[in-house]
């Protein structure tokens, strides 16, 4: 994401700023299916629901100088971030149905 920050008083002791971010996120879900959570053998694994989304953020905050080191600041800020809707897998979204003669289906 690209960040644009505007400081209202860049030479003051306590520096207030506002910022905006705009960019893209690439999010995806990876999964591993095992017989039990403790088993080492992986029955199936892969990547599902990969997606790109545009996102933006607006924020404000203050920078407070740390006296021990010149040029070092402690920063407090609040951001609002938003993007379009995404789909991804959560725990419990996959079920295994065993076949009577062995094996099964997900």
**What span, in angstroms and rounded, lies between the C-alpha atoms of 44 and 34?**
7
For residues 66 and 57, give the distance between their C-alpha atoms in angstroms, rounded to a whole number.
27
- Report pTM: 0.58
pLDDT of residue 62: 95
Residues 28-78: tens digit of each pLDDT: 877 777 777 788 888 778 777 788 889 999 999 999 999 887 889 999 999
Tell me the sheet residues that pair with 52: 26
Mean pLDDT of 3-16: 90
Looking at per-residue pLDDT, the higher value among 94 and 45 belongs to: 45
What's the pLDDT at 88?
65
Q: Cα separation of 73 and 100, whole Å?
A: 65
* 42 within 8 A of 34, measured Cβ to Cβ: yes
The Cα 47–Cα 28 span in angstroms is: 7
Q: Which of 78, 106, 104, 73 is nearest to 92 (CA)?
A: 106
Burial class (CB in 10 A: 0-12, 13-18, 19+), 46: exposed
């Amino acid at each position: 994401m690209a960040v644009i920050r505007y400081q209202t008083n860049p030479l003051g002791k306590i520096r207030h700023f506002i910022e905006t971010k705009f960019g893209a996120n690439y999010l995806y879900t990876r999964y591993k299916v095992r017989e039990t959570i403790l088993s080492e053998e992986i029955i199936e694994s892969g990547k599902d629901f990969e997606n790109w989304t545009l996102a933006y953020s607006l924020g404000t905050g203050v920078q407070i100088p740390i006296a021990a080191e010149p040029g070092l600041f402690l920063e407090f800020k609040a951001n609002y971030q938003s993007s379009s809707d995404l789909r991804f897998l959560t725990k419990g979204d996959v079920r295994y149905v065993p076949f009577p003669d062995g094996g099964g289906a997900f």
